[in-house]
Structure 1
Amino acid sequence: MDTPIGNGVNSLYERRRHPIFQLAVTTKSRPKVYRRYFVVDLPKPSNIEHPVHFTFKYRTTIGHNWRWASEVAGSSDGELFFQTPTVPTKIGAFLNDYDSSLKIQSVASESPGVQLWSIVAPIKGVQGKHSEFTRTSLGTPSRYTRWFAITRESRMWLSPDHGQAPYASTRGAIMCSFLRTDGLHLVLLAISGVKDVLIEFKPDGHGNVVAESRNEREGSNDAHIVAAAATTFDSASAAVMYHARTVVAGDDFQDRKDKLEMERRIADDIQPQWMENWYDGLTYCTWNALGQDLTEDKIFTALADLKKNEINVTNLIIDDNWQSLKENESGSYGQADLGWTDFEANPKGFPKGLKYTATTIRQLFPNIEHIGVWHAILGYWGAVHPDGWIARNYKTKTIKKWDGTDMTVVDEPDISRMYDDFYKFLLESGVDSVKTDDQVGLDEIRDAPDRRRFITAYQDAWVIAALRHFSIKAISCMSQFPQNLFHTQLPTNKPRFMVRNNDDFFPDIDASHAHHIFVNAHNTLFTSHLNILPDWDMFQTHHQWGTYHGAGRCISGGPIYITDEPGKHNMDLIHQMTAQDTHGKTIVLRPSVIGKSIDVYTARHEERLLRVGSFTGGKNGTGLLALFNVNKRALSELVHLDRFPGVEQSEEYVIRAHTTGEVSPPVSLTDKLPVVSVEIEYAGWEILSAYQVRSFTLAGSTGAQHDRTKVAVLGLLGKMTGAAAVLKKETTMHQDSRLKISTSLRALGVLGIYISGLAEKTVEDNFMVLLREIPVPQHTVRINRETSVLEIDVETAFKEMKIGVGYGNVEVVEVFVR
């Protein structure tokens, strides 16, 4: 490809053409393509206050017409930002013409190099039943070119929004970030849930950001906002979230402090391994698989099908329609018109009761360790039926929803007793976990006195009951409304629990699938700072988008649960997402760091791959980068090594592509251009892993750099996040001058180890592999000469050696290299 750079001014720049990429990953439908890349040195402009715009022309062969790349791709010109080395200390450098009523104070930041400001806006008190709304201008963010916001897509779900200046999101936002022309980031956070205040950011049509505050209290109140400026979005967003914890913890409502202390005391008795067991087990949910017309027989049939296919799920969630319900007096029939009547399951679908169902499940399917049931925060979608057993045994109150309809709820004095009794009943029935849905029903309460009375009371009662009875084995769903995010999900006085990170998996809406991954990856830029485990929802492995969703769940670092219809399973995908431990339990391989988008300001409509970064392991761990095509045509991109989380300047890495198994030679950030070429087709994805390399001089080598043996432990091959199976790895020179590679695994499978110069070695002459200090069968070890990877089938060796189950779930594999 003959390419002029810029606008016909090639002579100003030095151009260098490099022959091939270290690693090229192409779509399955095309033969392998090797591309050449070009490097251009641009002089730094004298004025760095404005971004440098650029584009380029190209032609495919000599004699063809020159074409502008931006016109062919349908994209705008590129922008280069030259970042200022210092962050201004005055808020006036970042916000212009803000309201004079604001109380702004510079505060210390827990994130190094970040300027942080507390902003307090006075707001009016409630008059009668109606909440009081106050709008206060924060002014116009200065010198910015792009913005990103975490917004309220609906009352119950968060969603990202992007744009270029001026700020013009059509939805209320709880966090906004502005990319400035000097390369700095300004982040604003609206802190809700303190003293019954809800805050959202909205534009005013003139470039200003307005804080719209909803006060539920009688008398004046304060709206709390925090602003941060830093050289990176991650630093600024972390700083505002840290400060938000301080503001929430400083709420002077004494009853709130007492409840926080109670949560902490209960949480002290919860063992960490209990939570990992709940997080890491493969889960089956009945929702999409079995539908709303749920019966115990359908559940038994579905579980028998899983067993037949050797899909050993650990957790079961019995979703909607198991409860005893009755139609409310609305005259129509739907979920919202049904009220909860009794703790016991409905007799039509569960004629022998919930306890019989749970007991039978545990007898027939001993691999299932946890059984959970679905319920709404207020009981059901239509809350409580006024004539049911629950209404007769607990004090109730009729309240108004936002649309003016009536709803019967358990009243504040009896909420804790009701939850305590209900969860006792579930435990006695053999149920030890819950999925608590429709939590946004609390935000749909209309009148200010009722909002004050119920929103925090229900959340506190639910959390304490879940801690006390289930050790927080609970999933919070439809709960991303602002008061709940800060009141319940931000405090760190309890173990983190699962929270649905965005809207449902919709199997029949084709346009929803790429959108689902994009939204979850960006929502996590905010939710990763909460004391929760983001849950990207269930999905179906047999679905045409199944592997796409599976890759998203694996990189998310959250739970994985499937909702396959009986007889419809993608076994290959399930094996890529899970592994068996030595006890035969199926576990998911969760990275230790929650996955999130690494391109904060890239909008959904831009023709770019979505890049989701994660990391697993300790100091010498593995950077993970999942790439999703969220567009409608194949895309090609260059991925630089510095885009992998956790990569260090002084270290070397090998990069492996999951779908092809290809492995790059060792590269480092000090190389001229350590890049991977990636082409991904429509509805396609890839997961790249960057493994740290260690170098050794073996006996007989010259000691020169090119003659050193380089080693990287890759984890379990064939798994999307196989590096997460490695608990510990250590490579040392043994006393007899042999190289010893010791790897502790939490699951069985094929262990891969990159070793340079492997093509000249043989298993017989150069390797000894031990499992529990016993040599493994030689046929379980093979050399992949194309990728320089030693492949050890630990799972087959474990079974053939019949060495039995050990004390724990960890197996140590030792490899000696001559």
Structure 2
Amino acid sequence: MFRQEGKNTDLGHLIKSIKQTYSVKYVYVWHALAGYWGGVHPNGKETRHYESSVMFPKSSPGVEGHQIDIALEMMATNGVGLVNPNKVFQFYNDLHGRLAEAGVDGVKVDVQNILETVGAGFGGRVSLTRQYHKALESSISSNFPDNGCIACMSHNTDGLYSINQTAVVRASDDFWPRDPASHTIHIASVSYNSIFLGEFMQPDWDMFQSLHPAAEYHAAARAVGGCPIYVSDKPGQHDFKLLKKLVLPDGSILRAKLPGRPTRDSLFTDPARDGKSLLKIWNLNACTGVLGVFNCQGAGWCKQSKVNVIHTANPPPIIGVIRVHDVDWLHKIASENWDNSCAVFSHREGSLNCLNKNDALPVTLKVLEYEVFTISPILRLSSLVRFAPLGLYQMFNSGGAIVSVTYRLSTLSCEGAEDRDLTVNLSSSERSTPPVATVIVRVRGCGECGFYSSVRPKECRIGSQKIDFTYNPLNGLVSVLLLSCVENLTQEVQIVV
């Protein structure tokens, strides 16, 4: 029972109050794969029909030699009430049915790897894990039609290979707010783990706190990670300026299309220990690429103390370079006549550069510093006019706001009264009358929206209304302010160049 304004109310009233009072769309509930950390009581009045057995987890010597886990030690000492595998679907269905009836939309199922330590007597850990996951996913399908399940503590191979429909999986250890050695390691771990996990599930890079000293570092990583974004702030303790770089006013996020992965030249470096490498993480949006660069040096796992430690107290800044083809598959979102040139906008520095295929742009970062680059393939609209969308550049993943880019070319008719469409060879440099290009960019969200143009636009419009814009002739940055933003609204910006 839950107490609210002096009255006893059930879970359903609590969920209803949360959704109505705070406009929360979805509420998930945490539970362990065994029910709770200690499982299900075998002699409980309302649980004995699940025929639980008290099992004492036993991990392998290799796991114990790598890390001493206090939670596992407690379970090994006190035991885990393991539901009979033949009854576990009934258990999950009863639990999830009650939650769904109360208005819960899904569950986060934690402590999944416990099954590999209690398989004796149940046909071994593989058989036990298959039975549990089959039952879990059957119950999820029956009670949460949106496949509302997040897998956590589930990197045991038996579990990963037994999962058939669960779509979201935690990719790392926890966010540890009080452990200063953990933050650089966290970003490196989630990106490398996503190489494997991202092939068959949606990696979850865990929550963070928006007022934490490393909050901006974590937020930038989530923006390029293509992952869900969660914060675990205390009520009333929020950095809304930071959160607005991740979340639109309607509550949606500019999520990239893929799981974030290390760039090719980061695959075989050690960005946490070698003292010379930056970690680069790439992703794609509908019309742009995004590249996050992080200094993760200075901390790592200590085999002797079996904890994360800061091994270099004050490591020097590291100088690295980025190139347009750090973003893999960029050619898949570029136009057919793309010449491998890109407009590159840096989020923190606010600079805009044009890079060709083999150009390198230097970047220097201290430990726990980052930079996010929007990398946008350049459209050649004529021999003089080049254009690229950049998006809502005050947000980390600015290019995620670009939904689509189309254009039309026209010249004035002989009377000069109207435009006519032309079929043109964009590579031709011989024209009697330079064409006028109208680029139509659909943008999701609101705020400062940027574009690269090699020439000053003649005008910018939203619909039939002309809007003000600024143009920087030194770098080609066109900026317009998109004011309105309602749920699911995309605005069509027309730039005439």
- Alignment TM class, shorter chain as reference: 0.7 to 0.9
Counterpart selection for 2:81 from 405, 408, 417? 408
Contact 1:624 1:645 (8 Å CA) reproduced: no
Distance in 2 between residues matched to 1:500 and 1:387, nearest whole Å: 33
One of 253, 256, 261 as aligned partner of 1:588: 253
Shift of 1:414: 1.6
Q: Find the aligned partners of 1:810 and 1:296 in 2 and give their Cα distance.
A: 42
Structure 2 length-normalised TM:
0.81
Are 1:657 and 2:346 matched, yes or no?
Answer: yes
1:365 is aligned, of 22, 36, 48, to 22
SS in 2 for 1:534: strand
Which secondary structure state, in structure 2, belongs to the residue aligned with residue 579 of structure 1?
Answer: coil
**Aligned residue runs from structure 1 range 7-86, under 5 A:** none
Cross-structure match for 2:293 = 627
Q: 1:487 aligns with which of 149, 162, 165?
A: 162
Give the Cα separation in 2 of the matches to 1:449 and 1:768. Answer: 69
Once the two structures are TM-superposed, the CA of residue 473 in structure 1 deviates from its matched residue by 1.6
Q: Are 1:710 and 2:389 matched, yes or no?
A: no
1:549 paired residue number: 218
- Give 2:459's aligned residue: 767
Number of the residue aligned with 2:441: 743
- Aligned with 1:641 (options 324, 346, 354): 324
**One-letter identity of the residue aligned with 1:570:** D
Instruction: State the 1:816 CA deviation.
Output: 2.4
Is the contact made by 2:2 and 2:10 (CA closer than 8 Å) also made in structure 1? no
Q: Does 1:420 align with 2:99?
A: no
Q: Secondary structure at the match of 1:449?
A: coil
Contact conserved, 2:443 with 2:490, CA < 8 A, in 1?
yes
Q: Distance in 1 between matches of 2:106 and 2:280?
A: 34
Q: How far is the alpha carbon of 1:351 from its aligned partner?
A: 4.5
Q: What is the CA deviation profile of residues 686-744 of structure 1, one whole-angstrom value per residue up to 9, with x for unaligned ones?
A: 011221111223xxxxxxx4xx1110011211111111122211122146243111112
Instruction: Give a deviation string over 1:452-500, Cα, whole Å, max 9, x none.
Output: 5532111111112112221212111101101111121xx5xx4x62110
Residue 475 of structure 1 is aligned with which of 150, 154, 157? Answer: 150
Paired residues for 1:664-743 under 5 Å: 664-665=353-354, 667-669=355-357, 673-697=358-382, 705=383, 708-734=384-410, 736=419, 737-743=435-441
How far does residue 406 in structure 1 lie from its aligned partner after superposition? 3.6
Paired residues of 1:653 and 1:668 also in contact (CA < 8 A): yes
Listed as ranges, the matches of 1:162-311 within 5 Å are none
CA distance in 1, matches of 2:473, 2:242: 26
- Kindly indicate whether the alpha-carbon contact (under 8 Å) linking 2:295 and 2:369 is maintained by their aligned counterparts in 1: yes
Aligned CA distance change for structure 1 residues 811 and 296 (closer, same or farther; 3 Å): farther
Which of 243, 248, 253 aligns to 1:579? It is 248
Q: 1:350 to 1:505 in 2, by over 3 A?
A: farther
**Separation in 2 of the partners of 1:446 and 1:424?**
27
Q: Which digits, 9 at most, give the CA deviation of each residue in 1:97-141, with x for residues without a partner?
A: xxxxxxxxxxxxxxxxxxxxxxxxxxxxxxxxxxxxxxxxxxxxx
Offset from partner CA, 1:541-599 (integer Å, 9 cap, x none): 1100000000111111010000111222122211111223xxxx211111112111121
Could you say what secondary structure the match of 2:9 adopts? coil
Structure 1 position 296, deviation (Å): 6.8
2:51 to 390, 395, 401: 395
Q: Which amino acid aligns with 1:385?
A: H
Q: Indicate conservation of the 8 Å contact 2:37/2:80, yes or no.
A: no
CA drift of 1:405 comes to 5.4
Match of 2:140 among 438, 460, 466: 466
Whole-angstrom CA distance in 1 between matches of 2:465 and 2:239? 35
Percent identical among aligned pairs is 24
* Match in the other structure for 1:789: 477
User: Post-superposition shift, 1:628?
Assistant: 0.4
Count of residue pairs the alignment pairs up: 429
Instruction: Say if 1:384 and 1:390, in contact at 8 Å, map to a contact too.
Output: no
Shift in alpha-carbon separation, 1:775–1:550, aligned structure 2, 3 A: same
Deviation at 1:385, TM superposition (A): 1.7
Is contact 2:374–2:398 with CA below 8 Å preserved after alignment? no
Tell whether the 8 Å contact from 1:755 to 1:790 is kept in structure 2 after alignment.
Answer: yes
Larger Rg: 1
Give the match for residue 569 of structure 1. 238
Q: Aligned with 1:554: secondary structure? A: helix
SS of 2:183's partner is helix
Q: How far apart are 1:664 and its partner, in Å?
A: 0.6
SS across alignment from 2:439: strand
Q: Distance in 2 between matches of 1:376 and 1:724?
A: 35
Aligned 8 A contact 1:395 1:413 in 2: no
- 1:400 Cα deviation from its structure 2 partner: 3.5
- The one-letter amino acid of 1:354's match is L
Q: Structure 1 residues 757, 442: closer, same or farther in 2, change over 3 A?
A: same
The one-letter code matched in structure 2 to 1:500 is R
**Structure 2 CA distance for aligned equivalents of residues 741 and 387 of structure 1:** 70
Q: How big is the shift at 1:606?
A: 1.1
